[in-house]
Structure 1
Amino acid sequence: MNIEPLLKALSEALAGEGPAVQIASDGGFDLIPQADLGLPDGGETDIAAVVRTSGSTGTPKRTMLSVESLAASSVGTAMALRGEGQWLLALPPNYVAGLQVLVRSLFAGTRPWAMDLSGGFTPEAFTAAARELTDNTRFTSLVPTQLTRLLNNPTAETLTVLRRFNAILLGGGPVNPVLLEAARGAGLNVVTTYGMSETCGGCVYDGVPLDGVHLAIREGRIWLGGPVVAAGYLNDPELTRTAFVTEEHDDEAVRWYASGDLGEMDGAGRLRVLGRIDDVIITGGLKVSANTVVQGLERVPGVREVFVAPVPSAEWGQQVAAMVVGTGTEQELLAHAGARMEPQLLPKTVVFVSELPLLANGKPDRAAILAALTAAATTA
């Protein structure tokens, strides 16, 4: 993909000398004049980019990211990673994690390299692209499914290029502890990230907020605040007022975003994400956390990836269903899981696949998975 025109447009937007950039799924982009953005409360903030949320958990929204927010995110990342360097773009640039690879490169004055995603993400394409990097300091951003594929029977060459990255940012969804252990055991410096389009992407690294980022748990919900928080949603002032709030904190105004995730702080003061607020499955009158089921199934030997969701049930109202990437049979899976999980947590429908259906950004395609699980439950 030729990213030079996009880099030029982003450079002008970040310098406050051009319109906002909205990137399309094919890598093309539109330019939106600042006057057409309709900033809430008549704000005069320069917007550099408009990013669609992934839509993996609902209707996609168009998030407006200001120059100041992107700059704060870039600086915070450089501080957390202890330097700037060359980035490999392995995610579509129309999603915030891919956009940030380009933005960080522009702020650092380095030349990013984009891997060929025309045939989808493959270890071979990633390895070939990583070989093209020239800077001694190297970074990339991946989602868990991508790293899983890279470490599933990797070649010596793939491991070599992975180990040459000073850091591999891993975010966009829950990370299987087994995957993380395998990656670090293979000599990879993997940094887990938590964030979303509304916070310029990842703003909590390995459970610790970036410099200048505020983190709070309010009634179990994760709130994120500070200069990385977005200006709002394009053409949706009501949703903007619902999701964002400005509060006084230590004599300064802090802009907060109320996430849709549940979380807690562990004994070391690090954030632990417990799952989405709406991932509770009510089956037979009992509440089951989909994230808890995922964590239990991921501990079963041979399981590489799991997606858990509710499907309709005439008997239970909803029932727990799981799509699993791994070896073995349903009986073996449930036998292993049943030794450590409560009975109501065990899925009543299990579908084994070689790979999870994915969105273009590498996240699981929730709609496709739900359709497959519902069909399997209906025919069982």
Structure 2
Amino acid sequence: MPSPAPARPLHALPVPAGRRVLELLPVLAEALAGRSGTAWHPHAEGGAPHPALRTGEPLGPGEDDPGDPTAFVVATSGSTGTPKGALLSAGALRASADATARRLSEPGRGTSSGSGREQWVLALPAHHVAGLQVLLRSVRAGTEPVVVDTTGGFDPAAFTAATAAATAPRLLTSLVPTQLVRLLDAGAEATAALAAHTAVLVGAAATPAPLLARARAAGVPVVTTYGMSETCGGCVYDGRPLDGTCAALEDDGRLTLTGPVVARGYRGLPRHPAFRTAPGGPRTFRTDDAAVLTRDAAGPLVRVTGRLDDLITTGGLKVAPGLVEDALAAVPGVAEAVVVGVADPEWGERVVAAVVPAAGAAPTLEQLRAAVRERVAPHAAPRQLLLLDALPLRGPGKPDRAALRTLAGRPGPR
């Protein structure tokens, strides 16, 4: 009887910014085809993979399958402070790329999809799932993406130039809402670059309705997307699940997603309750979001109504309020602090700090922002400060976050 094959290792894959990312395309092609001898954990070049993902060690029991190898272990955004690694198989990624191609080549979206006929514009960091998917979809389509260099931040002029450099008849890109705002604000040339696309996918955060209306009125073919690392990125487009993906609700309104795009689990966390697999059937992922499901003549329609927890998504990046509150509590002059997210037309949500100052103190927004930038992350820094005599409470002394959101949404300084 032959001995089992040795477990495949998980190796770090440093992902550069700018055009050098194209050097990874052969590696990505091997992984997408299921031919790689290793699984890869993409992370930003110059940084380090998170130790919780244990790069350099073999994949564990249930983390791989010779018939459908794990291609990538993509770090989640770490809503509890520690990112988890979503185990994405080659088959799941191919299913995602193919379902996306079919959806975006439906009637009304330009010429039909085919090798050499579509080209992606990469404007997102490729070590996150949305940017990685732009590269993998390009591999699947047989075309080289055009890269927007975002090393120094997102520049509408660079996006416009990248669009002009594309050569295929169908242009596709993936953005976060903040990028869409900045492009629309940049003037006629940037708006025309957006309108030249067959589809502009916008996701990673809720896209405000006024922003969608503004973009569509300008002729931009916006497609809202919903998904996460655990579903190979977006798997619900304009509220419609992609082919093969089924949306359902649990009794508490929690949205679940079932289908071939679902990850096989988390690295080092076997039997995690977020994942279910029916015997011989597809995998199900239990999201942290509440939703409403309806149906019309075109089929099921998903409307996500909000998170089941208090996680904030700002500019396409997630912020755990507890981490920010811990950083604020360490600032001299802060007696109490609670952090909430409030809808914002540019950022999706803005981070709001509600602070009760210590006696005689008057902390400023810039002091708080500096502390959070240093101790958490730049994108987690609050953009609005509420100085209060006391925090509104509910129940046995819990902060009333709904009341704070109401206060933060009233006209006043930010």
Return the TM-score normalized by structure 1: 0.73
Alpha-carbon distance change, 79 to 34 in structure 1, aligned in 2, over 3 angstroms: farther
Alpha-carbon distance change, 370 to 88 in structure 1, aligned in 2, over 3 angstroms: closer
In structure 2, the partner of 1:81 is 104
| AA in 2 matched with 1:270 | L
What SS does the corresponding residue of 1:262 show, helix, strand or coil? strand
Question: Percentage identity across aligned positions?
Answer: 43
Q: Is the 8 A contact 1:168 1:190 kept in 2?
A: yes
- Displacement of 1:313 in angstroms is 5.6
Provide the alpha-carbon RMSD of the alignment: 3.7
For residue 149 of structure 1, the aligned residue among 182, 186, 191 is: 182
Alpha-carbon distance change, 77 to 260 in structure 1, aligned in 2, over 3 angstroms: same
In structure 2, the partner of 1:279 is 310
User: Superposition pairs for residues 174-213 of structure 1, below 5 Å?
Assistant: 174-213=206-245
Q: Distance in 2 between matches of 1:7 and 1:310?
A: 42
User: Superposition pairs for residues 289-304 of structure 1, below 5 Å?
Assistant: 294=343
Q: Distance in 1 between matches of 2:184 and 2:217?
A: 11
In structure 2, the partner of 1:37 is 59
| AA in 1 matched with 2:125 | P
- Displacement of 1:66 in angstroms is 0.4
For residue 46 of structure 1, the aligned residue among 63, 69, 81 is: 69
Output one character per residue of 1:266-325: Cα deviation in whole Å (capped at 9) or x when no partner. Answer: 4644211111111299xxxxxxxx77x62xx75xxxx775425574669xxxxxxxxxxx
What SS does the corresponding residue of 1:36 show, helix, strand or coil? coil
Alpha-carbon distance change, 92 to 370 in structure 1, aligned in 2, over 3 angstroms: closer
Pair 1:257 & 2:276 matched: no
- Displacement of 1:129 in angstroms is 1.5
Pair 1:71 & 2:104 matched: no
Alpha-carbon distance change, 138 to 247 in structure 1, aligned in 2, over 3 angstroms: same
Q: Distance in 2 between matches of 1:230 and 1:379?
A: 47
Q: Distance in 2 between matches of 1:33 and 1:370?
A: 27
Q: Aligned residues, how many? A: 317
Pair 1:224 & 2:245 matched: no
Q: Distance in 2 between matches of 1:42 and 1:137?
A: 36
Q: Distance in 2 between matches of 1:228 and 1:76?
A: 9
- Displacement of 1:36 in angstroms is 1.4
In structure 1, the partner of 2:83 is 60
What SS does the corresponding residue of 2:139 show, helix, strand or coil? helix
Alpha-carbon distance change, 125 to 176 in structure 1, aligned in 2, over 3 angstroms: same
For residue 95 of structure 1, the aligned residue among 107, 128, 149 is: 128
User: Superposition pairs for residues 333-348 of structure 1, below 5 Å?
Assistant: none
Q: Distance in 2 between matches of 1:13 and 1:369?
A: 32
In structure 2, the partner of 1:24 is 43
Q: Distance in 2 between matches of 1:91 and 1:260?
A: 24
Pair 1:15 & 2:43 matched: no
Q: Distance in 1 between matches of 2:103 and 2:261?
A: 15
| AA in 1 matched with 2:130 | A
Pair 1:372 & 2:389 matched: no
Output one character per residue of 1:95-121: Cα deviation in whole Å (capped at 9) or x when no partner. Answer: 000000011111111111111111111
| AA in 2 matched with 1:228 | V
Q: Is the 8 A contact 1:76 1:211 kept in 2?
A: yes
Alpha-carbon distance change, 351 to 310 in structure 1, aligned in 2, over 3 angstroms: closer
Return the TM-score normalized by structure 2: 0.68
| AA in 2 matched with 1:8 | P
Unpaired stretches in structure 1, ≥5 consecutive residues: 282-289, 315-349, 353-357, 360-364
Pair 1:116 & 2:149 matched: yes
Pair 1:159 & 2:169 matched: no
Q: Which has the larger radius of gyration?
A: 2
Alpha-carbon distance change, 34 to 256 in structure 1, aligned in 2, over 3 angstroms: farther
In structure 1, the partner of 2:350 is 307
| AA in 2 matched with 1:100 | Q
| Higher mean displacement: 252-261 or 40-49 | 40-49
Output one character per residue of 1:17-63: Cα deviation in whole Å (capped at 9) or x when no partner. Answer: 21222222138999x99981214277433011121112356422111
Q: Distance in 2 between matches of 1:108 and 1:184?
A: 27
Q: Distance in 2 between matches of 1:371 and 1:138?
A: 35
In structure 1, the partner of 2:165 is 132
| AA in 1 matched with 2:281 | A
Structure with the higher fraction of residues in helix conformation: 1
Pair 1:244 & 2:275 matched: yes
Output one character per residue of 1:156-175: Cα deviation in whole Å (capped at 9) or x when no partner. Answer: 22122111100001100111
| AA in 2 matched with 1:16 | G
Q: Distance in 1 between matches of 2:63 and 2:95?
A: 22
What SS does the corresponding residue of 2:92 show, helix, strand or coil? helix
| AA in 2 matched with 1:79 | R
Q: Distance in 2 between matches of 1:164 and 1:371?
A: 35
Q: Distance in 2 between matches of 1:366 and 1:57?
A: 12
